[in-house]
Structure 1
């Protein structure tokens, strides 16, 4: 009892310690994680704002200028036909009215005189009389246009609207979009759009989560969340962004994008002369509000965790008195596991290689079949058993698929150590480590020499059909075995070593590891029995419960179906258990054939939300198993041929056309039932009808 109390107090102490540690770690991690997510989101918003500028300002104004330039009356006006002026003014006004942000459109001739000018007033748009037109030859945008490529749009600086060399109050941000035009090959003036940026900048900088700063390449602020620092070159402060980010100033302007622990910056990909740099930093008020909510959640979770720990401690103490684990028990479990591994090694012909085809492991069955010892095989190339008569194209196809991390299946003629040969059906699958990185390949093989040499054509067809189904099953089992074996080996070996080295192992850990080992061992035993039953070549009779046999077969293929996104629905428990005596392995083979056929049809037709449904119906002296899919059905012109030998509509790599033929013969001749198919509104539906009293 004293030891139990000590264990209880230790458990409570560590529970409290864990809760407190978890609380502080998560608090720190949350702030870092939330800031990282917020800054990642800021990058996305920057890209969105960049695209918004290109679409709403750059592209639209360029399109308008090019459209005006193509207007034939303008071209004639430039060449001296002045009577076109009124028509051109009306065109300018129509474009002016089509876009709220366009404040003015002008044509300035080659000498710098405004010749056509339309502007928006408070109530309408109007053209200026000649007496109101001004000379603009001294303005920088006119001077620079003379040296710009003709008929190519360029953008001025983002600036404020000026009057008498002073910005108009309130500030009115504006950008000029200029198109230098030519007459023949000579400079003929410019088309200018004055674009008001007030509304655009308001939307551009409006965000509840970030403080926004917009600067030019000189570091002068154009927009600042602190309004006293906006348009710095026009106020007395002469504020420069270098004052706010002294440590990162150079990086902001050197890199296209830059990220610190609390802000991100981006050089906007826009055609503005002075350049635009956008800076977003997470608002501290927003982060504090989120942190406060998260703090309340953590307190609640901590209290619940502590309460759960108290309850769990009582349960563990109770369990502690029920189980006493000794080193001998662990050794016995490990001994049983080794025996089961040996059973697998004796019966399954498998090999494992690295990425270059060098053998890293083989089963005893592989050694026995090839005539080589394990030491002779491990470290050698798998080509050691390659028969010279095998075509190079087979290995080319195999490596092509394996390099693409696909499964490969095929028959191979192998060379034994004594010079004899044998045939195998090989299934090779990629092997991955815990990080899902490809580390090698696993080959599961079946010796098919007798089939190749002696079996009749009828038996050949049966074996080919069975191999296809078995290939699917072995692939699943091989995939399913890796994880349980790894878990069992790691758990048992770890505990034994700790005991042998007198390292203290808590009873809680012993119980946990033993239960885990027992669960995994039972799982392995079940899959081994299923696998061995399927491999039996005798025609003995087995007594089965039909529902259990269907579940057993479904369990074999469920892994593959699940990996392909196919839902397997079993509606077989609505009637009482049905006991039958059947030839070993035949009904499972038929069910696997039909399930695989349905799987292939679903994949070939790329069906959305694919499913396969298995129903069981009891009707007087008969029982009917139906297997339906939603792959669209079988064309009426071939539905009557699908049970013929070698008939298939699939690619050669997906089947030989024997699966349904042999399924038909097994059900109709060997089991004395009937196999038929019908199309439903969803797809194809196969019916297996058997006599319950057989």
Structure 2
């Protein structure tokens, strides 16, 4: 801001000097012109006076058109007296403005003081002069010889003065602008020079850079390159670049590199090097040819980046990826085995359930068999009675087959995804444990839209509810709960299905509830629990990209499962 103010002040100062010089020169010119005009008019007057021996009068004006004589002016002491004299001459004036200007104060003062003078006036931007030359006639009367002249030179001089002032002003302005521009460039160049110095220092310190001649002999190196290689600059300069080449790199790599460089191309690639102390390091390099004015190669500039850490990290990542893949495979096998182990862990309970469900039909069928034997022995057997007993046998056999089929479906291995109805899936579970629920007086209620379908493995999903119900049954018995209730609720919420399982079996202690999904953790006494049931349940939910959580609710437990309603069959 201060620099701009200083520039403006300089401009105004130079403008003032130029203006003053031009005005001074103009005034000198005016004075010279007026002096010449007055001398010339005086000479002209003398010639006219000598030529006309009679008294000069108004006839002279009529002849020359620009000269008049003002007679007998000695007694003029006021402007009014001058005007009276001039009015007598008014009849000879063609231009009324001439008479008007003769009545000006400057004219009056000149005549009153009997001076010889020339006065300038302007009419519509045109300059003219009035020459006033006093003389005495033969009667000793003071008269005035008056001549009007158009002064184009003076008017042109004023015009030239303005043009010159404008030209000089523009030149000064351009000069100052140029100076300001040059000053700004110098300032910017100074700043850039400092930046370049800092940049060169940074390049020298951090960039691995070398320069060589066309034969690969090092001519210049950066400090960073010297530090990485372990060699001092003096040890590197004058020696070939292959000083740091690692013997493991095939010669074909360098042969191809030199072929590209000798053809004027830029080479890029990764190289394995060895430093002064035998340590291995990797670089990502770019080599650029240098040319003379005739496009002949005179050397090379090399820019390199140390990528040793990246190479090591890539190797670590490669090994780690391999290990992770192996571990994932192991975990998948382990998880699959755990799910199967969980199913097997239920075998004991399920066998008891099967035995319980088959006990009554088998006992009834046994009675039917005795009844057949007795009826035949006593001759009471006929076709109608035989058909009745056969129908009774069929009903019991169908019941046994239905029960067995439910368990067979559960244990049938399957890993393909399908779409199934959640309500029917839960009902199939309840059918399997129907007699177990009745014998333990457990009331199960299902609430939810019967049309909701999910994608998964149906018999695996049954495993979830079998685990829940089995744990609730054991808790009911252990805690001696009189009124035993289980509530299963489910609903669709946007793109998710939410399932809630409730019981009133007393809940789980708060200090261990967070461990319930851990492998080998059980709340049952030693020897009675496997510790895989709830872990397997979580694995099944995780396979479906769902979430499972547990909390104590009122006087029991609440398991909450959230599943995305997504078709996985294409990815199965």
TM-score, scaled relative to structure 2 = 0.37
Structure number with greater Rg is 2
